[in-house]
Amino acid sequence: PDNEIIDYNTKLSGVTAEDLKNALPSIRDVQAILLNLFSADTILIGHSLESDLFALKLFHNSVVDTSVVFPHRLGLPHKRALRNLIADYLRRIIQDDGKSQI
């Protein structure tokens, strides 16, 4: 990574400092790869995508975000956790063991 990582969020991501010790590709490489995978007409679907796009320094107009499609009962700024949406709608358990979700 170009900058120091202060929190790997290992419990949810499964990523540790050791995992990224000699990480390749760089963020610029990832940006180039992603920009070649989708166009302005592509619809991106995911959960809380604004966080990922912000981290990648990317902007995209056509986004379907499950954190918006399935809002929290208390409204914004609260968001339902992906693990809860998966449990409620797909009856599956994710993000509970610290293993990588990738």
What is the SS3 assignment for 37? helix
Kindly report whether the global pTM for this prediction surpasses the value 0.75: no
Helices (H), the chain: 10-13, 27-37, 49-55, 66-69, 82-85
Domain boundaries, the chain: 10-90
Q: Please check the confidence at residue 24 and state whether its pLDDT lies above 90.
A: no
Kindly report, residue by residue over 46-94, the tens digit of the pLDDT: 999 998 999 899 999 999 999 999 999 999 999 999 999 999 999 999 8
